[in-house]
Amino acid sequence: MRNVLIAYASVNGTARECAERLAEQLNGPEVTICDLAKTTPDPAEFDLIVIGSCIRFGKLRPSARKFLGTCAAICKTKPVGVFLCCGLTHNFEDYCQRLIPDALRRDAFLISNFGGVLDPKGKSFWDRFWIRAARSSILESEMEDGEYTPVLPGILPENIGQMAVYAKKALSEMIG
């Protein structure tokens, strides 16, 4: 049986929730979910690797950045996928170009935005401040001819499902 690693770095829990949702959809192989803030797994022990991180202030979490660098060296020999939790979807392509190593951008089986949640409840003062500023910029962009129809970001389950499909395909190609 093939084994899959889903390694993530999260601050407010969105990347963790996305990793758990992805694991549920990969209902065939053995899946290990790993919080990179607590431990750094050995990628050599897994057949397929998915790395996820939240984006905060335009940056990856340091543990995710370091692990991405490690996995960039092995992406020629085993399937690697990447997801970002990015509430400001219009910045996703820029984040990919700036934050994901060239080898991974070129060879990953999929790089996807799993969305993000801009909910200030229960956050620290500075997190609430940033979240409210980000929400304001989104809400203002939704104003059209005096009509107000806010669309705030959330988790994108269709992108999580797409990652699961691509991961299963990559695993089946390894077997076949």
Binned at pLDDT 50, 70 and 90, residue 45 comes out as very high
Which residues have CB under 8 Å from 32's CB, separation 6+?
3, 4, 5, 6, 41, 46
pLDDT tens, position by position, 100-119: 999 999 999 999 999 887 66
DSSP code of 94? H
- Comparing CA positions, the residue from 93, 95, 110, 112 lying closest to residue 155 is 112
CB 117 within 8 A of CB 153: yes
pLDDT at 25 over 60: yes
Higher pLDDT, 27 or 129: 27
Residue percentage of the chain with pLDDT more than 90? 58
Alpha helix positions (H), 34-156: 62-72, 92-99, 102-107, 125-141
Residue 57 is predicted with a pLDDT of: 80
Average pLDDT value for residue range 7-29 = 91
pLDDT at 150 over 60: no
Write down the pLDDT at residue 1: 53
Write out pLDDT tens, residues 121-141. Answer: 666 766 766 666 665 665 555
Residue 5 pLDDT greater than 70, yes or no: yes
Question: What is d(CA 113, CA 149) in angstroms, rounded to the nearest whole number?
Answer: 23
CATH topology of domain 3-117+153-175: Rossmann fold (3.40.50)
